[in-house]
Amino acid sequence: MKFFIDTANLAQIKEAQDLGILDGVTTNPSLMAKEGIKGEKNILKHYVDICKAVTGDVSAEVIATDYAGIVKEGERLAKLHKQIVVKVPMIKDGIKAIKYFSEKGIRTNCTLVFSAGQALLAAKAGATYVSPFVGRLDDVSTDGLQLIEDIRIIYDNFGYETQILAASVRHPMHIIECATIGADVVTCPLNVILALLKHPLTDIGLAQFLADAKK
Ligand code: G3P
Protein backbone atom coordinates (compact mmCIF):
# COMPACT_ATOMS: atom_id res chain seq x y z
CA MET A 1 0.00 0.00 0.00
CA LYS A 2 1.29 3.44 -0.89
CA PHE A 3 1.56 6.19 1.75
CA PHE A 4 0.85 9.76 0.67
CA ILE A 5 1.08 12.73 3.02
CA ASP A 6 -1.94 15.04 3.04
CA THR A 7 -0.45 18.49 3.55
CA ALA A 8 1.07 21.49 1.78
CA ASN A 9 3.59 21.97 4.63
CA LEU A 10 7.06 21.58 3.10
CA ALA A 11 8.81 20.79 6.41
CA GLN A 12 6.40 17.93 7.12
CA ILE A 13 6.66 16.68 3.53
CA LYS A 14 10.47 16.63 3.84
CA GLU A 15 10.28 14.86 7.22
CA ALA A 16 8.08 12.11 5.73
CA GLN A 17 10.33 11.86 2.68
CA ASP A 18 13.41 11.50 4.94
CA LEU A 19 11.69 8.62 6.72
CA GLY A 20 11.94 6.73 3.43
CA ILE A 21 8.35 5.52 3.31
CA LEU A 22 6.67 8.33 1.37
CA ASP A 23 5.10 7.59 -2.01
CA GLY A 24 3.47 10.94 -2.76
CA VAL A 25 1.62 14.05 -1.62
CA THR A 26 -1.98 15.23 -1.76
CA THR A 27 -2.99 18.84 -1.33
CA ASN A 28 -6.23 20.76 -1.58
CA PRO A 29 -7.17 24.46 -1.50
CA SER A 30 -7.80 24.32 2.27
CA LEU A 31 -4.35 22.83 2.93
CA MET A 32 -2.70 25.49 0.70
CA ALA A 33 -4.58 28.25 2.55
CA LYS A 34 -3.50 26.77 5.90
CA GLU A 35 0.14 27.30 4.85
CA GLY A 36 -0.65 30.89 3.80
CA ILE A 37 0.11 30.23 0.11
CA LYS A 38 -1.82 32.89 -1.81
CA GLY A 39 -2.00 34.07 -5.42
CA GLU A 40 -1.68 31.95 -8.56
CA LYS A 41 2.06 32.51 -9.02
CA ASN A 42 2.91 31.48 -5.44
CA ILE A 43 0.57 28.50 -5.55
CA LEU A 44 2.13 27.18 -8.78
CA LYS A 45 5.63 27.70 -7.38
CA HIS A 46 4.67 25.86 -4.20
CA TYR A 47 3.51 22.83 -6.23
CA VAL A 48 6.90 22.77 -7.99
CA ASP A 49 8.71 23.04 -4.63
CA ILE A 50 6.68 20.08 -3.34
CA CYS A 51 7.52 18.05 -6.47
CA LYS A 52 11.23 18.76 -5.93
CA ALA A 53 11.01 17.60 -2.30
CA VAL A 54 9.56 14.15 -3.09
CA THR A 55 9.93 11.40 -5.65
CA GLY A 56 6.25 10.42 -6.02
CA ASP A 57 2.97 11.82 -7.33
CA VAL A 58 1.75 15.23 -6.17
CA SER A 59 -1.97 15.99 -6.43
CA ALA A 60 -2.74 19.62 -7.35
CA GLU A 61 -6.41 20.61 -7.25
CA VAL A 62 -8.25 22.73 -9.82
CA ILE A 63 -10.47 25.57 -8.61
CA ALA A 64 -12.64 25.82 -11.74
CA THR A 65 -15.95 23.96 -11.73
CA ASP A 66 -16.89 24.26 -15.43
CA TYR A 67 -15.54 21.89 -18.09
CA ALA A 68 -13.55 24.46 -20.08
CA GLY A 69 -12.11 25.99 -16.93
CA ILE A 70 -11.13 22.60 -15.42
CA VAL A 71 -9.43 21.57 -18.69
CA LYS A 72 -7.50 24.86 -18.96
CA GLU A 73 -6.41 24.84 -15.34
CA GLY A 74 -5.61 21.11 -15.33
CA GLU A 75 -3.44 21.35 -18.44
CA ARG A 76 -1.53 24.21 -16.86
CA LEU A 77 -0.98 22.25 -13.64
CA ALA A 78 0.09 19.12 -15.52
CA LYS A 79 2.70 21.11 -17.46
CA LEU A 80 4.28 22.34 -14.20
CA HIS A 81 6.05 19.06 -13.41
CA LYS A 82 5.90 15.40 -14.46
CA GLN A 83 4.93 14.35 -10.91
CA ILE A 84 1.74 16.45 -10.92
CA VAL A 85 -1.59 14.63 -10.85
CA VAL A 86 -4.57 16.90 -11.59
CA LYS A 87 -7.13 16.73 -8.78
CA VAL A 88 -10.68 17.21 -10.06
CA PRO A 89 -13.90 17.36 -8.00
CA MET A 90 -16.61 14.73 -8.43
CA ILE A 91 -19.09 16.85 -10.38
CA LYS A 92 -20.59 16.44 -13.87
CA ASP A 93 -18.08 18.70 -15.59
CA GLY A 94 -15.33 17.12 -13.51
CA ILE A 95 -16.14 13.66 -14.87
CA LYS A 96 -16.14 15.04 -18.44
CA ALA A 97 -12.76 16.65 -17.79
CA ILE A 98 -11.33 13.44 -16.28
CA LYS A 99 -12.34 11.60 -19.45
CA TYR A 100 -10.63 14.30 -21.54
CA PHE A 101 -7.45 14.21 -19.40
CA SER A 102 -7.40 10.43 -19.51
CA GLU A 103 -7.46 10.46 -23.32
CA LYS A 104 -4.65 13.04 -23.34
CA GLY A 105 -2.49 10.95 -20.96
CA ILE A 106 -2.83 13.47 -18.11
CA ARG A 107 -3.16 11.71 -14.76
CA THR A 108 -6.05 12.61 -12.46
CA ASN A 109 -7.28 12.24 -8.90
CA CYS A 110 -11.07 12.42 -8.59
CA THR A 111 -11.76 14.03 -5.22
CA LEU A 112 -14.71 14.57 -2.86
CA VAL A 113 -16.02 11.05 -3.40
CA PHE A 114 -18.59 9.87 -0.86
CA SER A 115 -20.41 7.00 -2.59
CA ALA A 116 -19.68 3.82 -4.55
CA GLY A 117 -21.66 5.18 -7.50
CA GLN A 118 -19.40 8.22 -7.69
CA ALA A 119 -16.33 5.95 -7.54
CA LEU A 120 -17.73 3.83 -10.37
CA LEU A 121 -18.17 6.92 -12.56
CA ALA A 122 -14.62 8.09 -11.78
CA ALA A 123 -13.23 4.72 -12.86
CA LYS A 124 -15.31 4.67 -16.05
CA ALA A 125 -14.03 8.15 -16.93
CA GLY A 126 -10.46 6.85 -16.53
CA ALA A 127 -9.33 8.53 -13.30
CA THR A 128 -5.85 7.47 -12.15
CA TYR A 129 -6.91 7.79 -8.51
CA VAL A 130 -10.26 8.05 -6.75
CA SER A 131 -10.36 9.77 -3.35
CA PRO A 132 -13.14 8.58 -1.02
CA PHE A 133 -13.17 10.66 2.19
CA VAL A 134 -13.25 8.13 5.03
CA GLY A 135 -13.16 10.47 8.05
CA ARG A 136 -15.76 12.89 6.73
CA LEU A 137 -18.21 10.00 6.26
CA ASP A 138 -17.49 8.81 9.81
CA ASP A 139 -18.21 12.40 10.92
CA VAL A 140 -21.80 12.05 9.68
CA SER A 141 -22.38 8.62 11.24
CA THR A 142 -21.70 6.70 8.03
CA ASP A 143 -19.06 3.97 7.83
CA GLY A 144 -16.26 5.44 5.70
CA LEU A 145 -14.30 2.17 5.64
CA GLN A 146 -17.35 0.30 4.32
CA LEU A 147 -17.18 2.60 1.29
CA ILE A 148 -13.53 1.61 0.70
CA GLU A 149 -14.58 -2.04 0.90
CA ASP A 150 -17.44 -1.54 -1.58
CA ILE A 151 -15.24 0.30 -4.07
CA ARG A 152 -12.56 -2.44 -3.82
CA ILE A 153 -15.19 -5.08 -4.72
CA ILE A 154 -16.61 -3.03 -7.61
CA TYR A 155 -13.20 -2.24 -9.10
CA ASP A 156 -12.06 -5.86 -8.77
CA ASN A 157 -15.29 -7.13 -10.35
CA PHE A 158 -14.52 -5.27 -13.56
CA GLY A 159 -10.75 -4.90 -13.44
CA TYR A 160 -10.78 -1.10 -13.22
CA GLU A 161 -7.22 0.19 -12.87
CA THR A 162 -8.20 3.36 -10.99
CA GLN A 163 -6.33 3.32 -7.68
CA ILE A 164 -8.33 3.70 -4.48
CA LEU A 165 -6.73 6.58 -2.58
CA ALA A 166 -8.34 6.58 0.87
CA ALA A 167 -8.46 10.23 1.97
CA SER A 168 -9.57 12.04 5.11
CA VAL A 169 -7.70 9.34 7.03
CA ARG A 170 -7.52 10.50 10.62
CA HIS A 171 -5.96 7.78 12.82
CA PRO A 172 -3.82 4.61 12.68
CA MET A 173 -6.79 2.21 12.65
CA HIS A 174 -8.04 3.88 9.45
CA ILE A 175 -4.67 3.01 7.87
CA ILE A 176 -4.66 -0.56 9.16
CA GLU A 177 -8.24 -1.17 8.01
CA CYS A 178 -7.48 0.35 4.59
CA ALA A 179 -4.50 -2.00 4.28
CA THR A 180 -6.67 -4.97 5.29
CA ILE A 181 -9.35 -4.07 2.74
CA GLY A 182 -6.79 -3.49 0.02
CA ALA A 183 -6.90 0.26 -0.63
CA ASP A 184 -4.07 1.11 -3.03
CA VAL A 185 -3.08 4.32 -1.22
CA VAL A 186 -3.80 6.14 2.03
CA THR A 187 -3.25 9.84 2.44
CA CYS A 188 -3.08 11.40 5.89
CA PRO A 189 -1.27 14.01 8.00
CA LEU A 190 2.28 13.28 9.23
CA ASN A 191 1.16 12.71 12.84
CA VAL A 192 -1.11 9.86 11.74
CA ILE A 193 1.76 8.15 9.90
CA LEU A 194 4.05 8.62 12.91
CA ALA A 195 1.38 7.22 15.25
CA LEU A 196 1.89 3.84 13.55
CA LEU A 197 5.35 3.73 15.16
CA LYS A 198 4.04 3.85 18.68
CA HIS A 199 3.54 0.92 21.03
CA PRO A 200 4.13 1.02 24.82
CA LEU A 201 5.57 -2.52 24.78
CA THR A 202 8.21 -1.35 22.27
CA ASP A 203 9.23 1.46 24.64
CA ILE A 204 9.29 -0.86 27.69
CA GLY A 205 11.19 -3.54 25.78
CA LEU A 206 13.77 -1.10 24.43
CA ALA A 207 14.33 0.43 27.88
CA GLN A 208 14.91 -3.08 29.27
CA PHE A 209 17.31 -4.06 26.46
CA LEU A 210 19.33 -0.85 26.94
CA ALA A 211 19.47 -1.37 30.72
CA ASP A 212 20.59 -4.99 30.26
CA ALA A 213 23.18 -3.95 27.68
CA LYS A 214 24.93 -1.93 30.40
CA LYS A 215 25.24 -4.98 32.67
O1 G3P B 1 -7.48 14.40 1.42
C2 G3P B 1 -8.66 14.99 1.90
C3 G3P B 1 -8.41 15.53 3.24
O4 G3P B 1 -7.57 16.65 3.16
C5 G3P B 1 -9.61 15.82 4.02
O6 G3P B 1 -9.27 15.52 5.30
O7 G3P B 1 -9.51 15.55 7.73
O8 G3P B 1 -10.21 17.54 6.34
O9 G3P B 1 -11.54 15.45 6.31
P10 G3P B 1 -10.19 16.06 6.48
Q: What is the pTM of this model?
A: 0.96
* Residues classed as catalytic: 87
Report the percentage of the chain scoring pLDDT > 90.
Answer: 100
| Pocket residue to mutate for ligand 1, from 3, 168, 174, 190, most atoms within 8 A of Cβ | 168
Which DSSP string corresponds to the chain?
-EEEEE---HHHHHHHHHHT---EEE--HHHHHHTT--SHHHHHHHHHHHHHH-SSEEEEE----SHHHHHHHHHHHHHH-TTEEEEEESSHHHHHHHHHHHHHT--EEEEEE-SHHHHHHHHHHT-SEEEEBHHHHHHTTS-HHHHHHHHHHHHHHHT---EEEEBS--SHHHHHHHHHHT-SEEEE-HHHHHHTT--HHHHHHHHHHHHHHT-
| Average pLDDT estimate for 133-137 | 98
pLDDT at residue number 175: 98
What is the predicted pLDDT for the residue at 131?
98
Q: How many angstroms is it from 35 CA to the middle of ligand 1?
A: 15
**Averaged pLDDT score across all residues of the chain:** 97
pLDDT tens, position by position, 39-98 = 999 999 999 999 999 999 999 999 999 999 999 999 999 999 999 999 999 999 999 999
- Does ligand 1 have an atom closer than 6 angstroms to the CB of 118? no
Q: pLDDT value at position 67?
A: 98
